[in-house]
Structure formats: C-alpha cells, structure tokens
Structure 1
Amino acid sequence: MTVLHQIDPIAFSLGPLRVHWYGLMYLLGFGTAWWLGRQRIAAGRLPGVDANGFSDLLFYAMLGVILGGRLGYVLFYGLDELLRDPLMIVRVWDGGMSFHGGLVGVLAAAWLWSRRQRLHFFDTMDFVAPLVPPGLGFGRLGNYIGGELWGKPTEAGWGVVFPTGLPERFQQLDPAALRAQFEAGALDAWARHPSQLYQACLEGLVMFVALWWFSSRPRPRYAVSGLFALLYGVFRFLVEFVRVPDAQLGYLAFGWLTMGQVLSLPLVALGLYLLWRSRHAPVLEPLPAAPAAGVDARAGKGGRP
C-alpha cells in the first residue's frame, strides 16, 4: 500500500533547542556499538584490551565518524558549494554526512588507537566491524524519518510519497490538504522507492546478522573486515539503482553510474582482497579480558603487529 510520508523530523524541543530524530539515531548507533563491544571485550575477543581501553577506542571512532563523514560529504558531494562558501564545512546542522568519508575517519582513528595499544591494525578492525551495521541501519532510518535521500518513482505497492519530492504546487499545501490530495489518488504518480529502508535492512540488519554470526568464532585476520567491506560495497552498489542520485552531481557515466557506486567499487575490491589474504593469516584466539600477571595479553596467534 502506498504511504504518504508525514513524519516530523524533530523528536522533541527543549525551549529553543530542537532535537532531531537523525541525531538520536546517531546516539542509538553509538550506544548499540558500546553495548555490543562490551560483550566482545568481556569474551576476550580483543586480547589485552579492557573496558576502559574499548571506551577510548569508541571515543576515537566517534570523532572519526563525525569528522570524516562531514569532510567526506563536502569533498565528494559538495566541493562546488565549499568553494563558494567555505564556512559550510562547519554547518553540520544543515545536513550532509558521507558513509565513505566516515569510514576513512574510523580507519584513521582505529590506526592511531592501535598504535597506542601496540595491536595489529586489522585485529582492531576485525573486532570493530560487527559493531558498525546497527549504526548504519539507524542512520538510514534517520534518513527516512527526515524524508531525505529517497528513491526513484515506483508503481510497486510499497511506494512512499515524500512531500519534498512533489511538485512545488503540492509542497505549498498544509498537511491536512496534502493528506486529502493523497487520499484522492492525486499523488500516486510521485510514489517512490523507500531506498532508505532498503539500505537500513541490507546495511543494518542483514550485515549485522552475517557479521555477528561470522565473527562468533575466531577467524583469520582480515576475514571479518573483508566480509564487511564486500557486503557493504555490494549492497550500496545495488540500492543505488533505485535511489535518486545527488542533485548537484547527477549520474557520472552511462546514464546510471552514481557517485555512491563509484565509491563502493573500491570497497568490493578491498573486501575480496582481504578475504583472499585471510586464507593464510594467523588467527587471534580469545583471551580473558583480565589476563593473569605475566601473560602477554596480545600474543594469541599472531596477536602482535
């Protein structure tokens, strides 16, 4: 059944402060990562690292997501606007975050943290990878609630009419009048794929189940990170076929290739490479979170860089 999107993007207000659902989704993502990560730390899945060390890692990752996501969006999708208005880079309240930029930020943060902890970088990334999909899923739900990044027109029964995707004459209507037009069938031609929900399902739920199950027992170094990169790259590439490209970029080639697809192809290649490399890589065996004195907590099988 076709749905009219009329969700208030503001969750609640405290005086002049307006709290958006999108921001709450970020908090849910980080909170879920913290909860899941504590379980993995308690199970000894990152030998030599205790709860305090994991909290430091999560703090580093949060900074990487926010700074990298914003810089990535500006460089990949808003460079022309940046050249016209350099201050737009700090106006995060106007929206604009890039997964690929956030990923680079997390990689940089994890590399710095791993050096401080004297851990192999990919042991850290293999630990972190299963914690990321819930945040991706919550973020896409935030996109849906905000009525942004919607898909192409569809005649499927599950299409969604987004007011921001309607002609201007409909956007000027108040919510009640818009609802009346929808119920009269006047808006059916503008029903769109809810691509945000497709991505929430694939990048959030499916990736989490696959990675959590795959990492539930020790795997060779690089394998979990490789599966993450491969799954995300494939899922994002496919969903881009039913998602409207960024208006300022459009299609980059062939009438269908988008920036999201261009940025996802290297992830597919990286995932395949890491899975191939994992065939002969050492396995980091779990150790108790608080090892006995004199035990090298990072040894495991190939635990050191």
Structure 2
Amino acid sequence: MLVHPNFDPIALSLGPLKIHWYGLTYLLAFGLFFLLALRRARQPWYAATGWTRREIEDMLFWGVLGTILGGRLGYVLFYKLSEYLANPLDIFAVWKGGMSFHGGMLGVILALILYARRRGRPWLDVTDFVAPCVPTGIAAVRLGNFINGELWGRAADPSLPWAMVFPQAGDGLARHPSQLYQAGLEGLLLFVLLWIYARKQRPIGQVSGAFLFGYGVFRFIAEFFRQPDSHLGLLALGMSMGQWLCVPMIAAGVLLWVWAGRRAR
C-alpha cells in the first residue's frame, strides 16, 4: 500500500502571508483557461466574430467571481446548510475550505449570462467558447485536493497497487486516490475529448451540451470511488450527493445537444 505524503498545505510563507497549495492550483486553473481561450480565439469562426485578448481577460474576471462565489454558496446550500444556518458567519471563512463544483458551475453560468449581455453576444456562443477551456482547470483543482489529503476515496482492496492510506482519514484503511481519478476523468480525458470535438465548428449550444454531459458522466463514475461526505452519507438509491447533482446535469447536456442540432437543421 502507498501512504499519502501528507504535504504541508502551505506552499510558501512570507511573514504573516501564507500561500496555500490549494490557492496556487486555482491560479494554475485560471492561467490554463486564459492560455487555452487565446487559442480558441484564433479559430476562424471565433476570429471572424472579433474575439480579442481584452474580451477574454474581461470574461476571465467574471468567471473567477462566478467560480468563487458560486462554489462557496453551492457548498453551503448543497452540503452543510443546517450547519451554516446555525453559524452564518462561517460562510465567509473560505480559508477553512468548502467549495462545490456544481455551485461553481452555476455561478459561472450566471456570470457568463451577465458578460454576454454586456458584450452583446449570444449566451450559448460564449459558453461554447468557454467549455473546452475548463477541464484542465478542474484537473488542477483536483490535484490541490490530493495535495491537501482531502476528499479521499472509499476503502479499496489493499492489494491494489495504487491503494493509498490517507492519514487524515484517521482509520488506516487503504483507499482509492479518488482525487486523481477525478483529475484524470473530469479533467484530462474530458479536455482531450472536448478539444477534439470543438476543433470543428458545431451548431451553437452543442459544445456546451457535450461539456455538461461529459462532466456529469465522468463525475458520476468517479463518485463510486469517492468517500461520501460523512455528514450526508449515501442518499436515495444508494447514490451520493455528487451523483444526484450530476443527474440533471447529464439530462441537460443531452437535451441541449439535441436541441442545438435540431435548431441548426
């Protein structure tokens, strides 16, 4: 069995200022998004509609706000509502952790709606532009989860070559390194598939639908190996909260993809 290295969550200390690895992985996520978005802007159908570096910088600002605010509020609403209602000031204690991807996605959707209105662009055109640039950021943040030794996996067969003991779990069990599974599935694999799919001009809305469907499916699969939140456990039908949140995401992805194709015809 492997043992999690139990990294120091603080990457660098400069006097009273402490820079956490988790924060650096978010910076890496936003940096990768920016570089990939610049490449997307050079594709003929986007270059023809005037996507510029300045627009991408503006969109990234809105996206960062949507990610942080939506991710935090999503965690509060989906995972620990009663706890935060009892201690509402803890909602602002983001340094203690607690972010939800599904909440962050909703926050980004709202931010992109506002951005699209300001720029006079069709909203789905903006989300199609953004979608292939997102998965590498997801992979980066999942690596941050692994470095922190959080969101570990369910118990695994100790003979599994990559089974890992997470000291933070406090039980000495061999577990799946589910953070790395998620980085590989929701991050790298989804990025490769979406990037290839989006190299050709698609009907407006189809790239966004493919992202919703692909992320939902890969996250649903990864949840079978991820330890459910201790205060929630498994919910109806033996599914985790993460899986239940993926169900409407998968359905929305299919409906959007089909609708976009029919609308184009």
TM > 0.5 between the two? yes
Equivalent-residue separation in structure 1 for 2:226 and 2:56 (angstroms): 36
- Compare relative contact order (CA 8 Å, sep 6+) and give the higher one, 1 or 2: 1
Q: Is the 8 A contact 2:4 2:149 kept in 1?
A: no
The yes-or-no answer on 1:31 pairing with 2:31 is: yes
Equivalent-residue separation in structure 1 for 2:170 and 2:92 (angstroms): 30
- 1:293 equivalent in structure 2: none
Q: CA deviation at 1:43?
A: 3.0
TM-score by length of 2: 0.95
- 1:130 equivalent in structure 2: 132
Equivalent-residue separation in structure 2 for 1:259 and 1:4 (angstroms): 25
Q: CA deviation at 1:11?
A: 1.0
The yes-or-no answer on 1:264 pairing with 2:240 is: no
Single out whichever of 200-209 and 241-250 deviates more from structure 2.
241-250
Q: CA deviation at 1:238?
A: 1.1
Q: CA deviation at 1:6?
A: 2.3
- 1:160 equivalent in structure 2: 164
- 2:175 equivalent in structure 1: 192
Q: CA deviation at 1:280?
A: 2.8
Equivalent-residue separation in structure 1 for 2:256 and 2:178 (angstroms): 29
Q: CA deviation at 1:117?
A: 1.3
Single out whichever of 37-46 and 100-109 deviates more from structure 2.
37-46
* Higher share of residues assigned helix: 2
Cα pair distance change 1:195/1:121, threshold 3 Å:
same
Q: Partner of 1:149: helix, strand, or coil?
A: coil
- 1:41 equivalent in structure 2: 41
Q: CA deviation at 1:83?
A: 1.2
- 2:185 equivalent in structure 1: 202
Paired letter, 2:167: P
Once the two structures are superposed, the pairs formed by residues 57-76 of structure 1 within 5 Å of their partners are 57-76=59-78
Equivalent-residue separation in structure 2 for 1:258 and 1:232 (angstroms): 16
The superposition leaves residues 71-97 of structure 1 with CA deviations (integer Å, 9 ceiling, x where unpaired) of 000011110111110001111000000
Equivalent-residue separation in structure 2 for 1:44 and 1:113 (angstroms): 22
Structure of higher CA gyration radius: 1
Cα pair distance change 1:4/1:39, threshold 3 Å:
closer
Identity rate, percent: 51
Q: CA deviation at 1:230?
A: 0.5
Q: Is the 8 A contact 1:136 1:200 kept in 2?
A: yes
Paired letter, 1:230: F
- 1:6 equivalent in structure 2: 6
- 1:245 equivalent in structure 2: 228
Structure 1 stretches of at least 4 aligned residues deviating more than 2 Å after TM superposition: 1-6, 42-46, 280-283
Pairwise CA RMSD of aligned residues? 1.4
Paired letter, 1:26: Y
- 1:95 equivalent in structure 2: 97
**Count of matched residue positions in the alignment of Structure 1 and Structure 2:** 261
